[in-house]
Amino acid sequence: MPRPRQIFAIGFNYLDHSGEAGAEVPRHPTVFTKFSSSLTGPHATVALSSGMLADWEAELVVVIGTGGRNIPVQSAWEHVAGLTVGQDLSDRRLQMRKPAPPQYSLGKSWPGFGPIGPYVVTPDELADPDDLAIECLLGEERVQASRTSKLLFPVPELVARLSQTLTLFGGDLIFTGTPSGVGAFRTPRRWLRPGDVLTSTVEGVGAIVTAFISEDREAGSRERRVAGKVSVSGTERE
């Protein structure tokens, strides 16, 4: 879904993630958006600028099929085209920059900060679409592991609640939230660096792999392309 009309994201939707952040358990879904220019594919290379406090958040992503308003929770799955894997990458420095209130949408919308894929899997292909294993590896280290059955607001409830306020459209995306294990709440804190590789997996849906480079390196690659050259495995070819 390269050009969704709307992208929603849900914060603190796993109890353990609320706990590690010291946040109050939400009574209603915490909703923000990721801007569509942040989307990229399942095998992406993402540039990190110097000083960026980049963090990972593996998520189950819902793709809306038939939209609407006031969708009943009992029939919400009928409005879901399928499920995919996502990473809600975050620049915590921009997100939490003072003195403004938290800038969730800006901090999570740098170019490439919304990788999704590798497939959109229809709910009928899954034995239980409400209970899927989800995990994130940083290199070979497992940094997140949970099940979507632990969502505080599961998929049908998110679809129903969002549609009570706004109109959902076919192709809209819902990033459903991340479990515990993100870098911002570790001791010591841990941030993504150039050279890191994330592998984010949802059971029955697949895995996406996101590699990170420095912004300076990306700028250098652009300059070489403009000059009519491209670097291939350390060599330059016209």
Alpha-carbon distance 196 to 140, whole Å?
10
CATH superfamily of 7-237: Fumarylacetoacetase-like, C-terminal domain (3.90.850.10)
pLDDT tens figures, 119-177: 999 999 999 999 999 999 999 999 999 999 999 999 999 999 999 999 999 999 999 99
87 touches 198 (CB < 8 A):
yes
Supply the pLDDT for residue 54.
96
Record the tokens describing residue 147, joined without a space: 């099940």
pLDDT for residue 221: 59
Which contacts (CB < 8 Å, 24+ apart) does range 95-102 have? none
Separation between Cα atoms, residue 178 and residue 173, nearest integer Å? 15
pLDDT digits (tens, 9 = 90+) for 203-230: 999 999 999 999 987 766 555 444 444 3
E strand map for 122-227: 133-138, 141-147, 173-175, 197-202, 206-214
Q: Supply the pLDDT for residue 234.
A: 36
Which CA distances in Å does 59 have to 87, 121, 231? 6, 15, 33
- How do residues 82-106 score in pLDDT, each as one tens digit? 999 999 999 999 998 888 888 999 9
Pull the structure tokens for residue 149. Answer: 């059955």
- Whether the Cβ atoms of residue 10 and residue 150 lie closer than 8 Å to each other: no
Whole-angstrom Cα distance, residue 207 to residue 210? 10
Closest CA relative to residue 35, chosen from 87, 88, 91, 106: 106
- 191 near 26, Cβ under 8 Å? no
Question: What whole-number distance in Å separates Cα of residue 98 and Cα of residue 82?
Answer: 38
- Look over the chain and give the mean of its residue pLDDT values, rounded to a whole number: 91
Dihedral (CA of 136, 121, 35, 41) sign: positive
Quick check: 42 and 85 in contact, CB under 8 A?
yes
